[in-house]
Amino acid sequence: MTDIPTTPHVAPDHERVPRYEPTVIEPMWQQRWADARLYHTDLEDDARRRFYLLTMYPYPSGDLHIGHWYIKTPTDAIARFRRMNGDNVFFPIGFDAFGLPAENAAINSGVHPAEWTMRNIERMRTQLRSMGATFDWDSEVITCLPEYYRWNQWIFLRLLEAGLAYRRMAAVDWCPRDLVVLAREQVEGPDRVCWRCGTQVVKRDLEQWFFRITRYADELLDFDGLDWPEPVRAMQTNWIGRSEGAEVRFTTAPGAHHPGGATLTVFTTRPDTLFGATFMVLAPEHPLVATLTAPDRSSEVEAYVTQTRRRTEIERLDTGHEKTGVPIGAEAINPVNGERIPIWIADYVLSGYGTGAIMAVPAHDERDFAFAKRFGLPTRRVIAAPDDADDAPLAAAYVSKATTDRLVGSGPYTGLPVPEGSARIVADLVARDQGASSVTYRIRDWLVSRQRAWGTPIPVVYCAGSCGIVAIPEDQLPVLLPEDFQYRPEGGNPLEHTESFLRTTCPSCGGPARRETDTMDTFVDSSWYWWRYLAPHANEAAIDPELDTAWCPVDQYTGGAEHAVMHLLYSRFLCKALADLGVVREREPFRRLFNQGQILGSDGERMSKSRGNVQDPDELVSRYGADSVRLFLMFMGPWDQGGPWSPSGIEGVHRFLRRVWTVTLDPHGVEAGTGGGAPMGSTLDAERALRVAAHRALQGVTEDHAGFRWNTMVAKLMELTNSLMRHRGTPVAGTASWDEAIELLLLMLAPIAPHIAEELWSRRLEAAGVMARSIHTEAWPAFDADLVVADSMELPVQVNGKLRDLVPMAPGLDQAEVERLVLDRPKVQANLDGHTVVKIVHVGGRLVNIVIR
């Protein structure tokens, strides 16, 4: 405990107690904290334990909304708590400053994206400061500045060298509204809409830059040692979509129009069903379709391929519609039994997954079953449950993978249990060079090209001579964005029309060359920004290796779950790639991740201007103060849950803070209209009760910090305040015990309601004539273990598990004494009447259960 003397005797005259005016004290303290550089982190300090606390940096839209408060102010409470516990906390902030909204604003209003962005940043800095959060502004990162994006370019070149960045033609998703391609992760929902603007995307064939995230697919599935929420791990795992199975090589049978013998490889997760394959299906885009199609089938096949190409992806992926397809007039030979099966094409087989070809086993696959039924193709059962006959008829596909199932009608494998049969079939295929174990993933390489001007230029040129694609040498970075690009009414990428940018010389041959006009996906910027916070202005390197070693990985990251398969997956990928390149040390960027919930409007709907349910934080701050907003967001429920805004709820926490104010500054006050009702018992007993209340609160609050359980933490502080309020105006007020309780209350309040805690703390210091010092430099107190154990109690007594009585007794009695006291009670006796006591269960002095018959 500290050495603060007893409560100054403020006159119990209400007029003498100043009002709680958060709008006056909050800006004042924010200024003083900034002047004192209270939250600048000395990154070189290795005397204290380091704690890197990161919260997702905002996009500078120009307006901070309540969601920013919901993630950032509790994160600030973590920072403040850890500092009080002696940690050297690094809690930086910056801006994700490239991106489309700035360009859209430029197109609409003519203001340059850089100007729009920097103006918004200026405004948002003020708003962020109004939270009273302890951001270290000295480390601010702004991604649209050359001192940042030149290192995006440097990273790009390293990836290019390592073969982790490449360019290829691909059918990509194009947003017709934003006029950009999108990464697969950025196309959402069954309607295939742009993640940013909600417009339905279309397919286009374009040359694009990719990052080879697929190389890390397996490693990205490993979350070992990471403390991450289950939903995000599940989403990433799902997204990566690892499937184990086998590739099986079929061959084509000779036909009138082709000699046969071509290899057709299929991927299957069910090699155990190979004997049940009754036909084969190729994706309409499969390269062998043209050569295998029989002449008399070609017009129908071509028509189907054309139709497929014309159909939108939505139609094609709609699982509801009836399956379509056509036979191509060729046959494949099943490698296990030499059987000839017909080859079809159908759009339910996707060219981009597996080998773009499947063996169809209608008996054991729902889709194949539906297809076979539609076109009258045969169905052959090859798997049976233990109780089924070998030829039990199938009303639907039997897709069970029960290990007790066995193979039937499968030649030499008949009778084997499924797992063994599967393994034997694959082993035999491998031995005969007709197949191999295989793993397939659903994740695709990360498409990073964007046809936009407000982003990091991709640092390559196209040589007009014979050099081809040439990387800009490292010492010529950054490739600066031109300042004079102009938006054109017809849209498109202005860089394509900016001659000063476009025309350059080839670094290889010195001849004329054209610059790449694609810029990078802004998710590249956000995939490594936390390293840059450590040395935002360093000219020598993107990442300082010593600071990386000292501070990374990030200890705690907080932000929304909406980036589960975008930002959070890209960041893990880039970390692993940079580790392989020797740029950073660790292979995972964020040790512990927390996703807050979403704040809804008071109508329970998503906040939106059109619904008119938006809560403007600035307005709330000017009405209630930042501390009340912070506290309400923490009090409304578990942090990961979010929920609707409640206008009366914030009144409730504001009322609580006023009570804290009153009880601290006016301990002897008595409310008009009450008798000043002194609680029962002696002052000594009351003092002890108050100390017990304070130390129990401290114990609970300390525990709640570990799990970010803000709601119960605030509840405990309310309880303590209620206890103090009950003793206000009694002889207990102003005693040493009272002062201890007040002091603990303020210290516990400091991380979550930093302004009022600081103000009340300073007033107490001043009144006591002690030199001023910030409550935020105080140590987190330790609770007194003797006080938190009960010294008297009411023992709950159950009869057959139902509560029947509460028996007052001293703790520490032995079981015989407890039983005597309990069995003496009339209420207990009444319940035992006419029954036999079978046994009495004692639960560690906390409860007794009498079992009767």
Closest distance of CB 270 from RNA, Å: 5
Which of these, 600, 511, 587, 598, lies nearest to 560 by C-alpha position? 598
Q: Tell me how far apart the alpha carbons of residues 837 and 840 are, in angstroms, rounded to a whole number.
A: 8
Q: Give yes or no for a contact between 504 and 461, defined as CB atoms under 8 angstroms apart.
A: yes
Closest distance of CB 428 from RNA, Å: 18
Residue 3: phi and psi, rounded to 5, are: -110, 35
Closest distance of CB 654 from RNA, Å: 8
Q: Is the Cβ of residue 545 or residue 604 nearer to RNA in the bound state?
A: 604
Closest distance of CB 186 from RNA, Å: 9
Q: Is the Cβ of residue 469 or residue 847 nearer to RNA in the bound state?
A: 847
Q: Is the Cβ of residue 135 or residue 348 nearer to RNA in the bound state?
A: 348
Biggest distance spanned by C-alpha atoms of the chain: 109
Which of these, 41, 153, 42, 163, lies nearest to 93 by C-alpha position? 41
Q: Is the Cβ of residue 149 or residue 239 nearer to RNA in the bound state?
A: 239
Q: Tell me how far apart the alpha carbons of residues 343 and 330 are, in angstroms, rounded to a whole number.
A: 6
Closest distance of CB 638 from RNA, Å: 4
Beta strands 519-520 and 449-450, pairing class: antiparallel
Closest distance of CB 276 from RNA, Å: 11
Closest distance of CB 553 from RNA, Å: 23
Q: Is the Cβ of residue 202 or residue 843 nearer to RNA in the bound state?
A: 843
Q: Is the Cβ of residue 77 or residue 714 nearer to RNA in the bound state?
A: 714
Count of H helices and E strands in the chain?
Answer: 27, 33
Closest distance of CB 600 from RNA, Å: 10
DSSP assignment of 390-421? TT---SS------TT-EE-S-GGGTT-BHHHH
Closest distance of CB 371 from RNA, Å: 8
Closest distance of CB 292 from RNA, Å: 17
Which residue blocks in 94-211 are alpha helix, DSSP H? 100-109, 113-129, 146-161
Closest distance of CB 105 from RNA, Å: 27
Closest distance of CB 690 from RNA, Å: 15
Q: Is the Cβ of residue 189 or residue 465 nearer to RNA in the bound state?
A: 189
Q: Can you give the length of the chain in residues? A: 853
Closest distance of CB 444 from RNA, Å: 9
What angle do the packed helices 710-727 and 683-706 form, to 10 degrees?
A: 170
Contacts of 827 (CB under 8 A, 6+ apart): 804, 805
Q: Indicate the Cα dihedral angle 243, 245, 249, 253, nearest 10°.
A: -90
Residue 432: phi and psi, rounded to 5, are: -95, 10
Q: Is the Cβ of residue 477 or residue 797 nearer to RNA in the bound state?
A: 797
Q: Is the Cβ of residue 454 or residue 523 nearer to RNA in the bound state?
A: 523
Q: Is the Cβ of residue 188 or residue 778 nearer to RNA in the bound state?
A: 188
Closest distance of CB 437 from RNA, Å: 13
Q: Give yes or no for a contact between 775 and 746, defined as CB atoms under 8 angstroms apart.
A: yes
Q: Tell me how far apart the alpha carbons of residues 225 and 591 are, in angstroms, rounded to a whole number.
A: 7
> Which pairs count as long-range contacts for 472-479, CB under 8 Å and 24+ apart, including other chains?
472/153, 472/157, 472/507, 473/507, 474/154, 474/157, 476/507, 477/150, 477/153, 477/154, 477/157, 478/146, 478/149, 478/150, 478/153, 479/153, 479/515
The structure tokens listed for 178 are 């934003």
SS3 string of 51-119?
A: EEEEECCCCCCCCCCHHHHHHHHHHHHHHHHHHHCCCEEECEEEECCCCHHHHHHHHHHCCCHHHHHHH
Closest distance of CB 77 from RNA, Å: 16
Q: Is the Cβ of residue 109 or residue 674 nearer to RNA in the bound state?
A: 674
Chain center to CA of 688:
45
Closest distance of CB 718 from RNA, Å: 4
Closest distance of CB 362 from RNA, Å: 11
Closest distance of CB 802 from RNA, Å: 7
Q: Is the Cβ of residue 17 or residue 502 nearer to RNA in the bound state?
A: 17
Q: Is the Cβ of residue 565 or residue 694 nearer to RNA in the bound state?
A: 565
Q: Tell me how far apart the alpha carbons of residues 301 and 327 are, in angstroms, rounded to a whole number.
A: 8
**Within 10 A of 291 (CB to CB), how many other CB atoms are there?**
11
Contacts of 676 (CB under 8 A, 6+ apart): 670, 729, 730
Preceding peptide of 553 cis, ω within 30°: yes
Contacts of 157 (CB under 8 A, 6+ apart): 459, 471, 472, 474, 477
Q: Is the Cβ of residue 318 or residue 766 nearer to RNA in the bound state?
A: 318
Q: Is the Cβ of residue 176 or residue 677 nearer to RNA in the bound state?
A: 677
Which of these, 375, 372, 350, lies nearest to 361 by C-alpha position? 372
Burial call 734-762: b when 16+ CB within 10 Å, e when fewer: bbebbbbbbbbbbbbbbbbbbbbbbbbbb
DSSP assignment of 268-332? ES-GGGGGG--EEEE-TT-TTHHHHS-GGGHHHHHHHHHHHHHS-HHHHH-TTSPP--EEEEEEE
Which of these, 157, 170, 159, lies nearest to 444 by C-alpha position? 170
Q: Is the Cβ of residue 509 or residue 715 nearer to RNA in the bound state?
A: 715
Strands (E) across 672-765 are located at none
Burial class (CB in 10 A: 0-12, 13-18, 19+), 538: middle
Q: Is the Cβ of residue 297 or residue 364 nearer to RNA in the bound state?
A: 364
Q: Is the Cβ of residue 182 or residue 495 nearer to RNA in the bound state?
A: 182
